[in-house]
Each structure stands twice: as structure tokens, then as C-alpha cells.
Structure 1
Amino acid sequence: MTDAAPTAAQSWKVTLPCTRAEAEALDGDIAAFALMNSPPVLMTSEAAPDDENAWRLDAYFEGEPSPAAIKLLRTLVPSAAGAKPLIEQLPDEDWVTLSQQGLEPVTAGRFHVRNLAADPERSGHINFLIEASRAFGTGQHETTAGCLLMLDRMRRIGMRFGNVADVGTGTGLLAFAALHLWPRAYATASDIDPVAVDISAQNAAANRIPLGRGQGQLALYTAAGVDHPAIATRAPYDLLIANILAGPLIELAPSLCALVDEGGTILLAGLLQEQADAVLTAYRTQGMRLAERSDRGDWPTLRLRKRPAIGWKRPRRIDRQARGEAPGFGSL
């Protein structure tokens, strides 16, 4: 099959007025939108310099927003009940960059993630520069920060890894973090979107992450899920990270688990609290057990361990006909 991602949908922006209180209440991620395949990016800002209570909500959509999506957006800002939303079609490839500009740096454990080169580094931390781009994974999303915190904790309790994979890498941030924690590891990162893979390569250069297939280097691939010969060839992995969405996490469970060594670890994120049981069931069926769970708001991060194979209890392996893909999904 081809590695090319589907043609990206045209981007749209919906703007509604709101109050300062409503804007502050929107700090974080909105669970209702997270159930969508392509949830919008929400940004708030002051609308009038002389009125501290006048704010605006901008929602960036991949594809024309449906009436139901606009209705849901209205429920977030009740003060705009009588206002007509401003709906705009945006130039290609601009909306994610626009929505991410001016984000505050994020500190998660030993990691400090800046989105602007002008922001200072933080002493005593591992600093990354992930500038606004057309790919997701700047560290702002609760799931990305949750993964960074879990990786930090895993290192602190003495866990060691020698072969790491990051499926749905987005900007490459989680793969970079893993290589900093375990610098002698082999590392692989993939995304269905070739733009995300290109941006990950640019971010690797900006953060002095060496690219390549050797020890201490990061190999980047464009792939739907894990459907790439090199990803299978570089297996088995003792750490596999997948920060995507609940649907593809469940769909990819057999393929991801088959690539993990016995006793190895899978780190899952991108799911909501109410989706955790379904995701865990899918992975327990494949011989995984829950080792640790950490929640940030509505967003859990799951650390799973693959049970060793013992006689008839050997974990079920990947179907030979499965191609290890979940088309249309990438990192958060």
C-alpha cells in the first residue's frame, strides 16, 4: 500500500464573542469535542483593549464545521446565545500554526517545552523548542504533557529501555523525550501525515536530535499506524508510545502489542476517562496488564506491561492478514 496520507481537508475558523470568565473556563481540553475524529483547536483572546470583560473564542476546524459542531461550540459560551458566529474558510496549512502562536511554555517533570524561540530556557530542565507548526504535539495538550510526566516518572523509578517506538509522533516531541532519558536506545517514530514527519525532522534538527537508524538516533517513517516494513523490522520494542485517539488505539491493539517484546511497556494516551475501560479491554486481550495510570483532568495516561509467554497462556499475536494501520489518525 502507499504511505501517503489522505488529502487534507480545507481549514475553517468559527469566531464567537465571550466573557473573560467563559474564556478562563475553557482553559484545557473540551471532552465533548474530543469524541470527534478531528476535534477543533480552541483559542481565546481579548477582543477590546478598553473592555477587560470582552473576549472572543476562535475555533479552528479541519473541514467545514457542521451545524451540530457550531451548536456545541455555542454551549461553551452562553453569553453569545444571540450572536451570529463568524465562519471563515482559511488558507491551506495555516490554521494549526495560527492557533498555536503565542502559547505559554509547558513544564512537565524534568521537561520544559517552548513554542517560541524568544522564550527563555529553564535552568535544570531538559529544554525543547517545538515551534508552532502544521502538526500537533507542542506539549500544550493534556495528553502530551501526561506522557512527558509518565516518561519522567518511569526514568525516576529506574526503568531502562533500549528500543523505543513512538506511533503517531506529531511533532516528534515524545520520541525526543525518550531519547533524552535513554540516550543509548534505538528510536523509531512514525506518523500517517508526511507533513508531520517532515516537521519532526525539522524539530529534531532544532533540538539536536540525531536522525538515523543507529543507537542514540531517531528513525522517522510515514506510515498508517505501524504499516511500514521498517517499523516491523526494527521490532521488538521494549517501549512503545501511542498518543492518538481511543478508536485507533483499540483498532491497532493487536498490531501494537505484536511489536512489543515480552515484558515490554506500552504507553497509551489520547483517550478520555470514559473510554479507558474499552481501551484496556482491547489490550488485556492481547496479553497486556495495567501497571500504572495517571489522569490529568479528563485525560488518562496508561502504562501497560506485556505479560511473559508461559505455555498455553501465551499472548495472542497479530493476525497475519492484519496490516497494522488505522487510516486517518495521527498524534494529538
Structure 2
Amino acid sequence: MKLLRVELIVAVEAEDVFAGFLAQRVSWGWEMEPRDPTRTRFVIYFEKDADAQNLVQEVGKAWPNVRCNTSTFEDRDWSQSWRDFFVPVRIEDTFMVLPPWLDRETDTAGLIPLYIEPKMAFGSGHHATTALCLRAVAMLWRKQAVSRQTGFLDLGTGSGILALACSKLGMSGTALDIDPVAVSNAQENFALNGVANKVVVQKGGLESFTPNQQVGLLLANILAGPLVRMAPALVRRLESGGSLVLSGILRDQAERVTNAYRDQGLSLPQELVEGEWVALIWD
């Protein structure tokens, strides 16, 4: 299979903001590594040349100082290529995210394993926005703000990793995504972890969720703009006393998102921060 490989060289001080720019345009993730002390290298693989060229054009307009190279990549096995850089991710003292090929090789040290088959869907635990959400779930569980009886909704589920974490703790709920590739990947990951009976996976956005149904835990790792616009709809879906976790938010966007939810009657949230990214948690 031939893929188009796009390499982007970004100044280190801009890498977090640039990652936010990519997150709005590339749902399946990317490789990211230091090029030298001052520059970071992003590598993205595309199946369709047109999609790659569209991204290159957008980068050229918005980031004129970013160096961009494209090349053809002969991929013998897409999933195999991930194995070269996918390493386990430890989340607090609760979860460990790891690929299925390491299930017998890795000592999880008593942590709850979350097996993720890395494919073309966002959410392997490596990106700060996902890791922050997993930290939030672990925190809510430790505080007993959520329990096995808590129903959850994971909006924009991607690989299904957040719904998987909730279900591994004993909760049941629904995972939604508008991307059919993500829905398929999430279903595969739920089956891989033996929790397919705990999660209903649906293609669509919030409008596809059962009308008037409320949940005790709502997770949305999307982007600041949609989170602001959806504030009234999301708050309506929360049970009284329920917990809300929002991520995909840059630090300079946090106040705007917070204000949108305070306008709906919520209090000030707790913040978890990693680099330039923030997760907002209400419990």
C-alpha cells in the first residue's frame, strides 16, 4: 500500500500550538520527535493524496515558517509501522495504555491495562489531551465522584480509549463519533478488552444520543470552539451532581470555555494542565 508521507519541521516553542492546529485537521494522529534542540518534527501519513495536499496548503497559509516535505511511503503493513514507536503510557496509579502485542511482555504493576490497537483514529494516550482526560477519570474514581453505577457518555470517542477506561472501572455507557473509521476502531478496542457488552458505540454527534437521556459522567475531548457552542446541550445531558470532563483546550482558551459553562449554572472547574493543554473537570 502506498501512502503519502508529510514531514513538518516546527520551532520547539510553537509545537504545542501547532499540535492543536493539527488536531483540528488530522483525526488519526501523527509521529512527533525532536529534530534538534530548537526544532520538532511532525510526520503524518495519508491514504489520499488530495487530503495531504489540502493540509500542506493550510499549513503554508497559517504557518509560513514551517518547513514542509512530502514523499511517497511504501507501507508493507500500516499497523506494523506503528510498532516502531508505540510505547506503554502510564496514567497516574490507575491505568496503563499499551498495544495488544505487548500484553505478555509488559508488567502493568497492578495498573488497569487499556489495550489499544493503534489505527487511523485519535486516542492512543500519547497526546496530552487524551492523557489529561484519563487522569481526570482516574481522579474522579479516587474521589468516588463516579462509581460502577455511573452511566457515561464519551463524545468524540476516537479510538474509544476514554470509554474503555470507564468500562474497565465497571461503568457502562455510550461512545459517539461522527467518523466511521473511529467507530470501527473503537468497537475493535472494546472487543479486544472484553468490554463490548458495557459500551454502546454509535456513529453521530450528540443529536444521535437518546433524547433527554442524562448521564453521571460526560467526557468530551474535542476542541474549544465546539465545546463553547455545545455548552447548553452538554449541561442538559448531565445528571444533577454529575461529572463533566472537557479537553482539547489550549491554556489561553480555558477561560472562554469555563465562562461558557458558568453561564449554564456550573461552578468553577478544576483544571489539569500538561504543556499548553488544559482539561476542565466539574464534579
TM-score with structure 1 setting the length? 0.69
- Preserved contact between residue 167 and residue 190 of structure 1 (Cα < 8 Å): yes
Task: Confirm or deny that 1:293 pairs with 2:280.
Answer: no
Instruction: Tell me how far 1:97 sits from its aligned partner.
Output: 8.3
Specify the alignment match of 2:59 in structure 1: 69
Q: Is the CA contact 2:214–2:239 (under 8 Å) kept in the aligned structure 1?
A: yes
Give the corresponding residue for 2:70. 87
Which residue among 152, 157, 163 is the counterpart of 1:169? 157
CA RMSD of aligned residues (A): 3.4
- Counterpart of 1:102 in structure 2 is 85
Is the aligned partner of 1:41 residue 2:30? yes
> Which whole-Å CA distance do the structure 2 matches of 1:56 and 1:261 have between them?
43
Match of 1:30 in 2: 16
More helix by share: 2
Change (3 A) 1:57 1:148: same
Report what 2:7 is aligned to: 15
Query: Residue 294 of structure 1: CA displacement?
Result: 1.0
- Give the drift of 1:135: 0.5
Matched position secondary structure for 1:288: coil
Partner secondary structure for residue 164 of structure 1: strand
1:111 to 95, 107, 114: 95
After superposition, what is the alpha-carbon deviation per residue over 1:172-191, rounded to whole angstroms, capped at 9, x for unaligned? 1111111222x1x3311110
Amino acid across the alignment from 1:266: L
Q: How far does the alpha carbon of each residue in 1:291-319 deviate from its partner, in whole angstroms, 9 at most, with x for none?
A: 311101111111124xxxxxxxxxxxxxx
SS where residue 187 of structure 1 aligns? strand
> What CA deviation, in whole Å up to 9, does each residue of 1:50-74 have, x standing for no partner?
xx99x99353275423456158778
Mean CA deviation greater in 115-124 or 168-177: 115-124
Name the aligned partner's letter for residue 125 of structure 2.
G
Q: Which of 111, 133, 137 is matched with 2:119 structurally? A: 133
Aligned-residue offset at 1:269:
0.4
Give the total of aligned pairs: 265
- Uncovered stretches (5+) of structure 2, i.e. residues with no partner: none
Q: What corresponds to 2:281 in structure 1?
A: 303
Cα pair distance change 1:106/1:244, threshold 3 Å: same
Tell me the secondary structure at the aligned position of residue 264 of structure 1: strand
* Counterpart residue type for residue 201 of structure 1: Q
Change in Cα spacing, 1:45 to 1:35, as seen in structure 2 (3 Å) is closer
For residue 16 of structure 1, report the CA deviation from its aligned partner: 6.2
Q: 1:56 to 1:187 in 2, by over 3 A?
A: closer
Does structure 1 conserve the Cα–Cα contact (< 8 Å) formed by 2:4 and 2:72?
Answer: yes
**From 190, 194, 213, the counterpart of 1:235:** 213
Aligned position for 1:261: 239
Task: Give the conservation status (yes or no) of the 8 Å contact 1:112–1:121.
Answer: no
- Taking structure 2 as the reference length, the TM-score comes to 0.80
Give the Cα separation in 2 of the matches to 1:128 and 1:246. 27
CA distance in 2, matches of 1:56, 1:272: 19
Q: Distance in 1 between matches of 2:18 and 2:144?
A: 37
Which of residues 238, 241, 262 is equivalent to 1:284? 262
Q: Distance in 2 between matches of 1:38 and 1:300?
A: 19
Q: Does 1:219 align with 2:200?
A: yes
- Of residues 136, 139, 158, the one that matches 1:150 is 136
Q: Distance between the aligned counterparts of 1:232 and 1:153, measured in 2?
A: 28
Native 8 Å contact 2:32 2:43 kept in 1: yes
Q: Amino acid of the residue matched to residue 114 of structure 1? A: L
* Percentage of pairs with the same residue: 30
